[in-house]
Amino acid sequence: MFGESKPGLYRTACPMTARLPSQSPTPPQTPPPPPVPEREARLLGGAFFAQYAAVGLMMMLPLVLSGRGLADHQIGLLAAIFAASGALTQVWLGSLSDRLGRRRPFVAAPGVLLAVLYAMLGKATSFQAVAIIYALAGAAFHSAVMAVTAMIADWSAASGRTPSSFARIRLWGSAGFVASLALFSPWLTSDALVIGGTSLLFLATGIIGAAAREPGASARTAPSLDGGARRLFRDRTLVVFLLTYLLFKIAESGAMAFFALRIQELGGGRQLAAWALVLNAVCEMPLMLAAGPLSERAGPGAAVLTALAVQPFRLLAYGVMPSVAWVWPVQVFHGFTYAFMLVGAVTFVDRRAPEDLRATAQGMLGMATAAGMAAGPLAGSLLARRMPLGPLYLFFAGVSALAFLLFAAAARGQGGIMRPKKSEPG
Could you tell me the CA-to-CA distances from 103 to 63, 98, 191, 345, 407 in Å, in that order? 34, 8, 34, 20, 32
- Fold entry, domain 38-216+223-417: Growth Hormone; Chain: A; (1.20.1250)
pTM above 0.85, yes or no: no
- Whether residue 373 contacts residue 82, with contact meaning beta carbons closer than 8 Å, is answered with yes
Output the tens digit of pLDDT for each of the chain's 426 residues: 334 444 443 333 444 444 444 444 544 454 455 688 999 999 999 999 999 999 988 988 888 888 888 887 788 788 788 888 989 999 999 999 998 888 999 999 999 999 999 999 988 888 999 999 999 999 999 999 999 999 999 998 877 788 889 999 999 998 998 888 888 877 777 888 889 999 999 999 999 999 999 886 444 444 444 457 788 888 888 899 999 999 999 999 888 878 878 888 888 887 788 788 888 888 888 999 999 998 888 889 899 999 999 999 999 999 999 898 898 999 889 889 999 999 999 999 998 888 888 888 999 999 999 898 888 888 887 888 888 888 999 999 999 999 999 998 888 766 567 767 665 444
Q: Where does residue 139 rank: exposed (0-12), middle (13-18), buried (19+ CB within 10 A)?
A: buried
Query: DSSP code of 161?
Result: -
CA angle 323, 328, 333 (to 5 degrees): 120
Question: What pLDDT is recorded for position 216?
Answer: 67
- Whether residue 60 contacts residue 178, with contact meaning beta carbons closer than 8 Å, is answered with no
Boundaries of every domain in the chain? 38-216+223-417
Could you tell me the CA-to-CA distances from 96 to 87, 142, 217, 354, 359 in Å, in that order? 15, 14, 17, 16, 9
CA angle 408, 414, 420 (to 5 degrees): 95
Contacts made by residues 155-160, CB under 8 angstroms, sequence distance 24+:
155/35, 155/36, 155/37, 155/40, 155/215, 155/219, 156/35, 156/36, 157/219, 157/220, 157/355, 157/358, 158/35, 158/219, 159/32, 159/35, 160/296
> Closest by alpha carbon to 303, among 244, 355, 358, 253?
244
Question: Where does 59-161 have alpha helices with state H?
Answer: 61-67, 72-100, 105-121, 127-156
Could you tell me the CA-to-CA distances from 161 to 166, 300, 323, 364 in Å, in that order? 8, 12, 43, 21
Residue 34's identity, in one-letter code, is: P
